[in-house]
Structures are given as C-alpha cells and as structure tokens.
Structure 1
Amino acid sequence: MIQKAPAPASAPVRTGIVGLSARSGWAPHSHLPALTRLPGYDLRALAASTPESARAAGEKYGIPHAYGSAAELAADPDVDLVVVSVRVPLHREVILAALGAGKHVLSEWPLGNGLAEAEELAAAAARAGVRTFAGLQARSAPAVRHVRDLVADGFVGEVLSTSLIASGRRWGPTFEPGGGYLLDKDNGGTMLTIPFGHTVDALAMVLGEFTEVSATTATRRPLVREEGSGRAASMTVEDQIAVSGRLASGAVASAHFRGGLSRGTDFHWEINGTDGDLVVTGDHGHLQQARLRVRGARGGTDAALAELPVPERYFDVPELDGLRGEAAYNVGVQYAHVLRDLHEGTGTVPDFAHAARRQRLLDAIERAAATGTRVTL
C-alpha cells in the first residue's frame, strides 16, 4: 500500500473529532483529555450532529473550527487526522468522507457495522493511500503489554491453554438512559463487538490468533428496563457468549462473556503453560477500560500465585500520568503510538486491515453459533 510520507517530527498533527458533544459521551471523557495532554497534536476542529450542537461544543472546549457535518470537517485543509467517535451505524459515512478527502483516520472500534462494512472500509483505505488506525486500545494497556512480554519471555513455558470469564457490564437487566441503541443487534454495538471484541483482540496479541472456533450464544434477557424510569425495552443483542477454539500455537482457548455484572467474577483470565501460570483479574470485561491485577506462579503446582506488579517502564507516556486508572489512559497511550507511526512511518497501531481481520473472527463466531459447527479461520 502506498503511504503518504510521514510529517516532519516538528509538525503538529492537526486533528478533528467527529462526535465531540458539549453534553456527554465517550469522546469528551476519553479522546479529549488524551489529546489535550499530548504534545504533537493540535485539536483544530470538531463536528457534531447539528451546527448548533457543534457551536456549543466548540465554545465549551475552545476548539476553533466547529462543523455541523462530518463532510465539512473532512474538507477542512487545516485537518490532517479525522477521529471518528460516533455510533457504529454512522462509521461508514464518516470514514468514507474522510478517506475521500485524503485524510488519515482513527476510528473507534468496531470499524464497521458488520463484516461487509469493515471489509469495504479497509479496501477504501488501501485505495486512498492514507494511514488508518483502529481504536483497539486494550492492547495499549500497561498490564496487557506486561502479560504479553511475560509470555514471550517464557514465564509460563509453552502455552497449553487459556480460559477467560467476564461480565459485559452493559447488556444486563437495565440500560442507561440514551443507551437504547445498544440493545438492537442491527446497530452493530453489541456485547460481542465491543467488550468481547476489545478483549479477544488483546488475547490474540498476547497468545496468537484463533485458527478455529465453536460458539454458543443466547439472549437470556429479551426484556430489559431503563435505569431511573423503569421503561421496558426489547433487547435482541446476545447477552451470553461462550466461545471455544484453538490458537495458531495449538493452545486451546475458551471465553465466556455474560451481560451485566456478576456477584462473583467480573473478569478472570488464566494462561496455563508447561512451566507456570498467569492470572489477570479486573473489575469488568471491558479490558480496554478495566482496572487490572496480574499474578503468576512458576515451578511446582504447590507454588502460590504471587503479585506481578506492572513495571513502571510500561507507563511510558509521562504526559498521561494524571489519567492513570481512568478509561482515557489507554486511549492516550494509543494516541502516543499513532503520533509515532505518523512521524516515523512505523505500524504499531492496528490499521483498518487489522480491524477487518478482527471482524472476520467475530463473524466466524456468529456463524459457528448459528450453525452449531466448528468454523475454520
């Protein structure tokens, strides 16, 4: 793929965010605090759903260019990088506008509403010859990178198996006001695509890709209620996802996500090997946001698990120290890596081609669940 030459190291990356609202949402709680702390970015523009809401956001955050549409932002010659922070059904329109304008694009995960859209967008990005980035920031978490290196350095020996159980946090008995779109499977923002997708991407980074999957899924709560009002709403999203399969190394893998939160285990990931074991625990199954603890043991089976604190070298973006423990931290680490990729021509952050491959895995899981068969990847 032909890439644009990286910008000079001294040139700030002029950035525009589509979906930055003055009211609330993911962008002001994650993208905004990350970008405003990192040198090398110049947040120049935003786009919102209407000109009025765009003006309100521009005034609130002190951003000079505020647009009522993604197409207007993409056409701004003062924008180098378009950040897509809107609901999944809108990703395609916004991304195609940005690619058509020759802009670099960072899109939140999932890339598209289903596999066909993801593959279309990856192909469009390859034709455009720009840099693209997928917001799979669980792999940026210091604890996840620590576990990756422990495995690579032989802490557990040969990996025999891995097992994971997690709570999806949302998709339980209640939903947040304004979160009704997450209940409709056709909208593409599901427990499978969001927390499971982020988490399985990190698992694959640490242990390797799946080569085959079997799956069982179910919607056990077809009727849920809005928090506060008690209003009933239908849910078509699967709130139980159980996947088993084999990794490229031959290791056996299993993962079970449950909707809502549990009174017992909300995140528990084991990696079992010939020489030792690793255990990662957390407060919920959104690995890209969770607070994580790493323990391990080597030698005989009577060796007790011991704390394996994440070394300080993994907190390698000092400008983000004030965000430690917050969801914005991993987003900020990914932005720091994006900056390096743009300036140095490296490829450390997943691109749209990677995102399409990841959505192919999710599609295989859905096909395995629908047919009751093992699907080879």
Structure 2
Amino acid sequence: MSSPHQTPIGVGIVGLSARRGWASQAHLPALQQLDGFELRALSASSAESARQASEKYGVAQFFGTAGELAAADGVDLVVVTVKVPHHREIIQSALAAGKMVLSEWPLGNGTAEAEELATAAAERKLRTFTGLQARSAPLVRYLRDLVADGYVGEVLSTSLVASGGSWGAVFSEDGAYLLDRANGATMLTIPFGHTLDALTMVLGDVGKVTTVTATRHREVRDPQTSRVFRPNVADQVVFGGGLSSGAVASVHYRGGQSRGTNFHWEINGTDGDLVITGDTGHLQVGEFSIAGAHGSDAELSRLTVPERYFDPALQGLRGTPAYNVGAAYAQIQRDLTEGGSEVPDFAHAARHHRLLDRIERTAEHA
C-alpha cells in the first residue's frame, strides 16, 4: 500500500474538544512530544466548538465537519477519536479523500462495518492504523519477548480476571451510550477487546471458544442526577478457549470495580510462571507490573521492564494514558518510513471484530 514519506506527517484530529475527551488526554500530548508529526487541523461537533479548540491548542485549521477536515490540504493522516457509531461515515470520507487513517478501537459498529472499511482501504491502497495501543505498551512487548525467549518454557495455560471499571452499579449520564449494545461500545468490545488483542499478541491466536455472558446490573444509576438506566450489554464475560499453541486460556471480565482484584493475569508454563497485576482492566491505558519465576526459583520476583522498551522522546508521558498512544504514533512513523506493518491496520481490526463476534455468538448459544 502507498505510504507518503514526507516529514513531518500532517495530522488532522476528528473529535478534539476544548472541554474534554480522549483526544485531548492522549492524542494531543503524544503528538506534542514527537518529532515527525505536525497537528495541522481539527474538527469538532460544530464549527464553534472547533474554533474554541483551535484557539486553545493553537491549531491553524479548524472545521465543523470531518469531511472538510479530510479534504484539507496538508492533512496526511486523519485521526478518528469520536464515538463508535460515527466511525464509519468519518472514515469513509477520509478514505474517499485519499488520506491515511488512524481510528480508535473499535473500528466499526460491528463486524460488517469493520470489514467494509478494511475492504475500502485495501481497494484504495491506503495505509490504515487501529488504536489497539495495548500492543504498544512497553510491558506487553517485554512480556511477548519473555514468552518467545522461553522464560516459562512451553506455555501450558493462561488465566486472567479483570474489572471493566465501567458497566457497574453506577454510571455517568454522559457515558450512557456505552450501556446500549446497538452502539458497539461495550465491556466486551472495549476493555475485554483491547486486552484479548494483547493476549493474542503475546501467546498466539484463539482457536476453540466457549463463552458465558450475563447482565447482572439490570438497573444502573447516575449518582449525580439519580437517573436510572437499564443496560442491555453484558457486565459479565467469561471466555474459555484454546490457543494456536495448544495452551488453554480463560478470561473473566466483571463490570465495575472490585474491592479485591481488578487485574490479574497469569501465564503458566513447563519451566516458569509470569504474573501481571494492575488496578484496572483496561490494559491499553493502565499501569501494570510483572512478577516471574522460572527454573529453580522458589518464588516470584518483580521483573523490571528494560529501558530499551521505552521511547526516550516520550519520557514525559510515562505513567499517563498518553504514553501507549504516543508509542503507537512513533511506530506508525517507523512503519511509514521503513515499510513495516507493526501497528494493527484495518484488516487486523476486522479479524479482531470477527473473533469478538464469535465469542458473543458462542455465549448466545451456550
């Protein structure tokens, strides 16, 4: 696929708000730290919102629509950071304008949309990237290398239990769209989806699948307004399966937060064990630690991620949600310069959508 080689890469962000949002929390700080990118344009929910964001962040061009942004001169990469139901239309306009696209995950509102977008990008021979940034986390890349280098020997099994953070007994009204399955942004697609993608990066593809899902919080209350919502999305996902290596996997995601364990992932092998822990089930943004033991070790010891897994240009973002996004941007630049494909593209995203579909269908027929 074609790749522009000019530097810097001109970026236009769809959904950069002056008030709040993931774009301002993660994408903007990441781009500000990296050479090779230049934020040249933004669009927001209205022309006035875009003007306010332009003034706040010092972005030269601002637009009230994503289509205008995609058509703008100087924009090489369109970054899509809005809610999932709007992804398809925005990405289609960017592809039609011949622009590269980085879209937040999930790529589409369901597998059909993701496959449509992947096909459209392939037909136009355009480079695409998907925000599955757990793959860019230094800890996850180190973990992949530990396993590949034989730290645990042959992997026998892996087990993971985590909390979704959201999808519990209380929910803010401005995030209520996450409680409607029709919007494509659920506990299954977001924290479970991000983490499962990282798990397959480390341990291999999923083969056989068995799943149980349930909605245990049948009423959810906004603590600020006391408004009550009735979710139709699963807040319990129990996945079991076999990996391509023959190892057995089990994953349980629970809605809300636990007073006990909120992230615990074990990898058990013939010659060792690895344990990853953290305080959130969102592997793509949280802070996690690794402990391990192998060979004659009698007990687990803390393993420190070597400095070579960190990008010096992102030193100021370590410990923030922006770090992994920045690491993904840095890899995008290397992919474009060197012709690589380390960052997941739309074809990868469509495959991951299909896997989540298979998991969900298995639960429906259980």
* Gap runs ≥5 in structure 1: 373-377
Residue 227 of structure 1: how far off its partner (Å): 3.0
5 Å-filtered alignment, 1:223-372, equals: 223-299=219-295, 303-315=298-310, 317-372=311-366
Residue 5 of structure 1: how far off its partner (Å): 4.1
Residue 6 of structure 1: how far off its partner (Å): 3.7
Opposite residue 47 of structure 1, the aligned amino acid is: S
The Cα offsets for residues 288-327 of structure 1, whole Å up to 9 and x where unpaired, read as 0111010001125x71001111111111x21211111111
Matched, 1:7 2:5: yes
The Cα offsets for residues 107-161 of structure 1, whole Å up to 9 and x where unpaired, read as 0000010111111111011011110000000011111111111000000000000
The Cα offsets for residues 30-62 of structure 1, whole Å up to 9 and x where unpaired, read as 000001110000100001111111111111110
Residue 270 of structure 1: how far off its partner (Å): 0.3
Q: Secondary structure in 2 aligned to 1:116?
A: helix
The number of equivalent residue pairs is: 366
Opposite residue 331 of structure 1, the aligned amino acid is: V
Quick one: distance in 1 between partners of 2:301 and 2:353? 36
The Cα offsets for residues 171-228 of structure 1, whole Å up to 9 and x where unpaired, read as 0111124111111111011000000010000000000000111100000002101132
Quick one: distance in 1 between partners of 2:135 and 2:223? 32
In structure 2, the partner of 1:375 is none
Opposite residue 152 of structure 1, the aligned amino acid is: A
Quick one: distance in 1 between partners of 2:66 and 2:4? 24
Opposite residue 301 of structure 2, the aligned amino acid is: A
Q: Secondary structure in 2 aligned to 1:174?
A: coil
Quick one: distance in 2 between partners of 1:361 and 1:336? 28
Opposite residue 21 of structure 2, the aligned amino acid is: G
Contact 1:15–1:42 (Cα < 8 Å) also in 2: yes
Contact 2:3–2:126 (Cα < 8 Å) also in 1: no
TM-score, with structure 1 as normaliser: 0.96
In structure 1, the partner of 2:134 is 138
Quick one: distance in 2 between partners of 1:178 and 1:343? 40
Matched, 1:119 2:120: no
Q: Secondary structure in 2 aligned to 1:347?
A: coil
In structure 1, the partner of 2:17 is 21
5 Å-filtered alignment, 1:49-128, equals: 49-128=45-124
Quick one: distance in 2 between partners of 1:221 and 1:247? 31
What percentage of residue pairs aligned between the two structures are identical? 64
The Cα offsets for residues 79-105 of structure 1, whole Å up to 9 and x where unpaired, read as 000000000000000000000000000
5 Å-filtered alignment, 1:143-292, equals: 143-292=139-288
Quick one: distance in 2 between partners of 1:218 and 1:157? 36
Greater than 6 Å deviation, 4+ residue runs? none
Contact 1:177–1:227 (Cα < 8 Å) also in 2: no
* Gap runs ≥5 in structure 2: none
Quick one: distance in 2 between partners of 1:183 and 1:369? 18
Opposite residue 190 of structure 2, the aligned amino acid is: I
Quick one: distance in 2 between partners of 1:281 and 1:199? 13
Q: Secondary structure in 1 aligned to 2:189?
A: helix
Contact 1:109–1:134 (Cα < 8 Å) also in 2: yes
Q: Secondary structure in 2 aligned to 1:203?
A: helix
5 Å-filtered alignment, 1:35-50, equals: 35-50=31-46
Q: Secondary structure in 1 aligned to 2:360?
A: helix
Quick one: distance in 2 between partners of 1:353 and 1:250? 25
TM-score, with structure 2 as normaliser: 0.99
Q: Secondary structure in 1 aligned to 2:74?
A: coil
Deviates further, 337-346 or 29-38: 337-346
Quick one: distance in 2 between partners of 1:217 and 1:139? 26
Contact 2:167–2:187 (Cα < 8 Å) also in 1: yes
Contact 1:6–1:345 (Cα < 8 Å) also in 2: no
Quick one: distance in 2 between partners of 1:268 and 1:204? 16
Give me the CA root mean square deviation: 0.9
Quick one: distance in 1 between partners of 2:85 and 2:3? 32
